[in-house]
Structure 1
Amino acid sequence: MMIGSMKGRAIVAAAVAVLPTAAWAHPGHGEQGSAFLAGLQHPLTGFDHMAAMLMVGLWAGIALPRHIGAPPLAFIACMLAGFGWAAAGGALPLVEGMIATSLVVLGLAICFAVRAPLTVALALVGLFALAHGHAHGAELPHGAVAWRFAAGFALTTALLHGAGLAVARFAGRPVSRFAGMLGAAGGVLLLATG
């Protein structure tokens, strides 16, 4: 009986040890870093945001090897603009549809290694980023300091872009194509069920 009890305690202790501290944060309760931690965690809590951010980096690595930093920077800048607009109470029509469409378009662009002109790629990524940012702003936790929350999700977004760039560089074309297909399929599913 004691062995089972010790085993149970060890399992609980291990589970608590691996839980991210961000999950314990409660934005708006006075802790200075809680809004930042909530922002760090936010892009990781939904397939749609995480997949789009990975795919922006992946597409940049595949289609724009001489300008790999431009699409991620455009995405972050436009995402912050969309966030600011939503946090200020501004409306943006069809946000969820645009987010789902971003997965389909980016996924197909990756699958077929579409090499768009830089200005077209940046405009497309920027448009999608406005929708993602607006969704972040609409989901700003009550009482959270907006700029801290934004700093957190911008950092996580940059890391996800970097992960996508790494996949494009090191994983090879079959892996990239499969990731694009998964992203596009996820977008189609979101459009069908939304």
Structure 2
Amino acid sequence: MRLNTLKIGLAALLAALPTLALAHAGHEHSSSFMTGFMHPIGGLDHLLAMLAVGIWAASLGGRALFTVPLAFVGAMLVGGGMAVAGIQVPFIEQGILLSVILMGALLVGSTRFPTAVCALVAGSFALFHGAAHGLEMPLNANGALYAFGFASATALLHLIGLGFGSLIARLQVNVATRITGGVIALTGLFLAIA
């Protein structure tokens, strides 16, 4: 099962590579989907948090393999919808940075909670990420395509994290999860003070 997750993650990454060529700055006229797709990938804070969610889900195993990433994507779409609807989400940037730091810390501590609690934690962080995506949607973008784009990129990053986490578990190199978590948390701290 874990090897299949890795294969799926790698296949998704390879499928996305041709679309990354359209990610050059200044191409705002590109499709709404691509604009949305590039937003999570283009920000280090988003990228690290989303990879960490996948790695954490892989370290938890069981139902968490799909429940935690799905909770993140679902809550992120809700956060994006709130922002587009004009509902204020306070402390968006602080929430995003806190999600990077705390997700890294959860990996360092090999923290395990019941799956529902893990999904709630991931979903809570995702509201901030979604609100940021919603606020940064170009005025001329198709909202549904834009949301589908950032949700797809997020799912891809989760799959990559799941693949990496599954590989670590398969090789029984659990210290790698802790080291990765430490790097993520420290990077989040750096981003917070920079």
**Per the shorter chain, which TM-score range?**
0.7 to 0.9
Partner-residue secondary structure (3-state), 2:119: helix
- Greater relative contact order structure (CA < 8 Å, 6+ sep): 2
Q: How does 1:1-194 map to 2 (within 5 A)?
A: 20-23=21-24, 26-27=27-28, 29=29, 34-171=31-168, 172-193=173-194
CA distance in 2: counterparts of 1:186 and 1:180, whole angstroms? 10
Structure 1 position 105, deviation (Å)? 1.1
| Identity rate, percent | 39
What one-letter code is carried by the residue in structure 2 that aligns with 1:58?
A: I
Alpha carbons of structure 1 residues 168 and 19: separation in structure 2 relative to 1, 3 Å: closer
User: What CA RMSD, in Å, does the superposition of the two structures yield over aligned residues?
Assistant: 2.0
Q: How many residues align?
A: 173
Query: Can you list the C-alpha shifts for 1:146-192, whole angstroms capped at 9, x where unaligned?
Result: 11011011111101001111111113323322221111112212333
Gaps of 5+ in 1: 1-16
Structure 1 position 18, deviation (Å)? 10
Alpha carbons of structure 1 residues 106 and 18: separation in structure 2 relative to 1, 3 Å: closer
Structure 1 position 26, deviation (Å)? 4.0
Gaps of 5+ in 2: 1-17
**Greater Rg over alpha carbons, structure:** 1
Structure 1 position 24, deviation (Å)? 6.9
Return the TM-score normalized by structure 2: 0.82
Return the TM-score normalized by structure 1: 0.82
